[in-house]
Amino acid sequence: MLLSLNQLVCTREEQPLFEPLTMQLVAGHCVELLGPNGAGKTTLLRTLAGLYSQFEGAYDCPDFLFQGHPMGLDELMSPLENLAWFAGLEGHTFTDERAADLLREVGMINFALTPCQQLSQGQQRRVTMARWLLSDAKLWLLDEPYTSLDKDGQVLLNALLSRHCDNGGAVLAATHMPLQVVDKGELPLRPAQVSA
Amino acid sequence: MALKQTLKELWHKLGSPRWFYQISGPWVTGFGVLAVLLLGVGIIWGLAFAPPDYQQGNSFRIMYVHVPAAMVAQSVYISMGIAGLVLFVWRMKVADIAIAACLPFGIMLTSLALFSGGVWGRPTWGTWWEWDGRTVSTLVLLFLYIGIFALREAILDSQMRARASALVAMVGTINIPIIKYSVEWWNTLHQPASITLTAKPTMPAEMWLPLLVMVLGMYCFAGHNIITRMRLEILRRESGTRWVRDLVLPESTLKGSG
Amino acid sequence: MNITVLFLREWRVLIRNRAAMINPIVFMFLAVMLFAVGSPLQDNTRALYGGAVLWLIVLLTNMLSLDSLFRRDFDNGTLEQMMVTADVPLLAVLVKIIVQWLGTGFLMVLLSPLLCLFLGLPGTAIAKTALLLLAGTPALSLLGAVGAAMTVGFARGGVLLGLLVLPLFLPVLVFGASAVSSEVAGISANAQLYWLAFMSMVALLIGPFATTAGLKISLQL
């Protein structure tokens, strides 16, 4: 089991943001977080990633990868160097060949050595996808993964998500655009009942 | 064994703002009465009855305000540091309320210490301000206080504000002895023959007894002021809860309301 | 977690973000120049004050450099990636602080002959000054990082950074300045040197923990 929530509710100023959540996520499932703007989707993902500490209830999220709103790429370094850094953070061995393969897969091999500040937002987003492939984390926590992607990029993203789930991984994503994957689950964030 | 159990229970209870509010009432009155008594006695004793210093004459009497203010100001900061530790380790809300309450009082007292130091300096050494060990320590203490104050003003989220102030208070508290030592050391280099006021150990009892009274009185005043502020803050923060409403507006707890 | 890779990245950033490293150093020399031009001191009295001015400028330069320690990473998202992905975020933070020190404090150690020259300090004091800077600047980087971590979330955090950090810097200033003055006067400054080293060690013990805690707070704002 890759993710388990037990009456988890994120709070701000001691007020709950949504109704408590209880669910289990097993391998192979792709779950979309549903809720309007401000429902707490980003906060939930950040809580699971360990970046937000105000919550009640419990969660267990042992092996994950987090993609937040900011790209998470150093603009002064090239995609190759960024991937090397991520590999170093996670403690993987890193070879240029493997990185090249990943960049080729996301269509960024021609820009492998260009500093990221010279890449467009969409191109940087593709580099982050290469980063996901580099990691061997089973659970992907993604916040608005479709941002800045063109049509081809979206197709690529869907393919990667499907493949990841097929290979025993799982995805929990907050997204404005519905995930175009087969057999996806939904986790709605309902507004908290205001106590009288 | 029973003592350990009661202490543990006490510790747990302390985490509840409501419990703190309920038990702190008598402490406020107690500290207040003691403060008025001790400060009153101390001021009159120090200003009128203590013998004049053979070097400084009567101007040294401001010491009876300056020294207690400086001592208590520093103790209050260290209390903030301890409260910060409690907040970080045990996540007690009351600890943040304590820090919020100590801040204004601490700033006021440090300013009083600096001002009274100037008042002391004017007739004694002819200057309102002198860079010596104690003034620098007190000034640094003021900046340490203002730093936490400015940080609290800048953070909107109450939980993060609590953790941030706790962290800064702890780091500041650890540095206080280092700062004090370095400034004292600097002082011995730069000010060889200045301020010692007839060196404390040889101060006659008629001189340091009123000082002791003033110091104790100032601590009581601190206790009274800070606990009062804490109680007000608790009421403010818990204003949505039932017990506060019952306390403040007893007539609203009619059957059928709420 | 591969420390070498982390170092490599910080080093690359240091080299490529030249402005962030050079601007504080340029400021340092500008300040030295302003002091030399602005003060009507004779050569011998300049040597007396040179120590204090040197350390004061070192402090201010450090503050300038600290402001940008975490800011870029905070803005582009690599800071949160670091805190989330690293096995031991504390070590990653320490690596950043060390590289920041290499770009400021250590650089000042290397430039100390020039600094002594411009401040009118005698040549005999150069070696000791370099040693004092070596012992004292780590404390500045380590303690300053705490302030940088607490203020990285604010748009205009610079002044607050100074307010938080200067009281902590004061002991370094006191011992460093008096040490240089002693050296110039021919008196041994070993006591101050040991104190500076001691403070750097204390800073090493509390700085990284406090900085990591501060970053965790700033990332939630």
Query: What is the CATH classification number for the domain harbouring A54?
Result: 3.40.50.300
**pLDDT of B195:** 45
Q: Is A15 on the interface with B (CB under 8 A)?
A: no
**Residues C154 and C71 sit within 8 Å (Cβ to Cβ):** no
Work out the pLDDT band at A129, boundaries 50, 70, 90. Answer: very high
A115 is in which domain, residue-wise? 73-136
Contact criterion met (CB < 8 Å) for B151 and C195? no
Q: Judge whether residue B56 has pLDDT over 70.
A: no
| Count of helices and strands (H, E) across chain B | 8, 0
Q: Are C178 and C116 in contact (CB under 8 A)?
A: no
**Angle C189-C193-C196 from CA coordinates, rounded to 5°:** 140
Total tally of structural domains belonging to chain B: 1
C-alpha span between C27 and C64 (Å, rounded): 9
d(CA C130, CA C134): 6
Is A85 a member of any domain? Answer: yes
Which of A136, A169, A186 is the C-terminal boundary of a domain? A136
Verify that A143 and A132 share a domain, yes or no.
Answer: no
Contacts of A88 in chain C (CB under 8 A): 1-2, 4-6, 8-9
A119 token code pair: 């890449």
pLDDT tens digits for range B204-254:
777 778 888 889 999 999 999 999 999 999 988 888 888 888 887 776 555
Question: Over the stretch A16-61, which tens digit does the pLDDT of each residue have?
Answer: 999 999 999 888 889 999 888 888 899 999 999 999 999 999 999 8
| Same domain as A143, residue A196 | yes
Q: Is residue B140 in some structural domain?
A: yes
Mean pLDDT taken over chain A? 90
Contact B154 C163 (CB under 8 A): no
B13 belongs to a structural domain: no
- Is pLDDT of B175 > 60? yes
Mutate to test the interface with B, among C151, C164, C196 (most CBs of B within 10 A): C164
Q: Which residue of A has its CA nearest to C221?
A: A52
Residues A106 and A84 in one domain: yes
| Residue A179 covered by a domain | yes
Kindly report the nearest CA distance between residue B157 and chain A, in angstroms.
Answer: 7
Return the SS3 of A73. coil
Res. B197 pLDDT band, cuts 50 70 90:
very low
Contacts of B210 (CB under 8 A, 6+ apart): B41, B42, B45, B46, B49, B50, B64
What does the DSSP assignment read for B63-118?
HHHHHHHHHHHHHHHHHHHHHHHHHHHH--HHHHHHHHHHHHHHHHHHHHHHHHHH
Instruction: Please tell me which residue, B18 or C96, carries the higher pLDDT value.
Output: C96
Per-residue pLDDT of C6-24, as tens digits, reads 999 999 999 998 888 889 9
Measured between CA atoms, how close is C52 to chain B, in angstroms?
Answer: 12
- End-to-end alpha-carbon separation of chain C, Å? 27
Identify residue A188 by its one-letter amino acid code: P
Query: Which of A180-189, B112-121, C37-46, C91-100 has the largest mean confidence?
Result: C91-100
**b/e per residue C177-193 (b: at least 16 CB within 10 A):** bbbbbbbbeeeebeebb
Task: Classify residue A147 by its DSSP letter.
Answer: T
Judgement on whether residues A116 and A151 belong to the same structural domain of the protein: no
Tokens standing for residue B108: 């006021």
**Listed residues A136, A163, A188: the one ending a domain:** A136
Q: What is the model's pLDDT at position C124?
A: 84
pLDDT, average across residues A78-91: 92
E-strand spans in C12-168? none
Q: Does B157 touch chain A (CB under 8 A)?
A: yes
Task: Kindly indicate the confidence band of residue A185, based on its pLDDT and cuts at 50, 70 and 90.
Answer: confident
CB contact (8 A) between residue C13 and residue A85 = no
Query: Complex ipTM above 0.85?
Result: yes
DSSP C191: H
**Total domains in the fold of chain A:** 2
Q: Do C77 and A70 touch (CB under 8 A)?
A: yes
Residues A59 and A149 in one domain: yes
C143, C195, C210: residue with CB nearest B167: C210
- Whether residue A12 lies within 8 A of chain B, CB to CB, comes out as yes
Find, in chain C, the residue whose alpha carbon is nearest to that of A54: C220
Option in C167, C206, C221 nearest B144 (CB): C167
Across all residues in chain B, what is the average pLDDT?
A: 83
- Residue A143 belongs to a domain: yes
Which chain C residues are closer than 8 Å to B171 by Cβ? Answer: 143, 146, 168, 206, 210
- Chain A environment of C83 (Cβ under 8 Å): 50-51
In degrees to the nearest 10, what's the CA dihedral of B29, B30, B33, B36?
A: -110
pTM: 0.88
In a domain, B85, yes or no: yes
The minimum CA-CA distance between A13 and chain B, rounded to whole Å, is 6
| pLDDT at residue A161, as a whole number | 92
pLDDT for residue B103: 96
Mean pLDDT by 10 residues, chain C (221 residues): 90 89 90 81 68 91 91 93 92 95 93 88 87 95 95 84 92 90 83 92 94 94 80
CA distance A58 to B205: 62
B149 within domain boundaries: yes
Q: Which domain holds residue B41?
A: 27-193+207-235
**Chain A, nearest residue to B238 by Cα:** A14
Q: Are A171 and A145 in contact (CB under 8 A)?
A: no
| Contact flag C163-B185 (C-beta cutoff 8 Å) | no
Instruction: Indicate the pLDDT class of residue B8, thresholds 50, 70 and 90.
Output: confident
> Rounded to 5 degrees, what are φ and ψ at A112?
-60, -30
- pLDDT at position A73: 94
Cβ of B164 under 8 Å from any chain C Cβ? yes
Asked if residue A68 belongs to a domain, the reply is no
Q: What is the mean pLDDT of residues B112-132?
A: 78
Would the pLDDT of B198 be above 50? Answer: no
Cα B191 to Cα C182: distance, rounded to the nearest angstrom: 16
Element of type H or E holding B135: helix B133-154
Counting Cβ atoms within 10 Å, is residue B58 exposed (0-12), middle (13-18) or buried (19+)? Answer: exposed
B198 domain-assigned: no
- Coil/strand/helix, residue B151: helix
According to the model, what pLDDT value does residue C46 have?
Answer: 67
* Most A-contacting residue of C3, C84, C88, C90 (CB-CB within 10 A), to test interface: C84
CB contact under 8 A, B183 and C170: yes
User: Which residues of C, range 89-128, sit inside 8 Å of A by Cβ?
Assistant: 92
Please tell me the distance from the alpha carbon of residue C197 to that of residue C133, in angstroms, as a whole number: 10
Using the 3D structure, point to which of A102, A136, A170 is the last residue of a domain. A136
At residue C160's C-alpha, the angle toward residues C158 and C161, to 5°, is 65
Note whether C167 contacts B171, CB cutoff 8 Å.
Answer: no
Which range among A90-104, B51-65, C143-157 shows the weakest confidence by mean pLDDT? B51-65
- Residues of chain A with Cβ-Cβ distance to B157 below 8 Å are 12-13
Q: What is the mean pLDDT of residues B44-72?
A: 77
**pLDDT > 90 fraction of chain B, expressed in percent and rounded:** 33
A51 touches chain B (CB under 8 A): no
For residue B18, is it within any domain? Answer: no
Residue A97 has pLDDT above 80, yes or no: yes
The chain A residues in contact with chain C (CB within 8 A) are 49-54, 65-66, 68-77, 81, 84-91, 94, 115
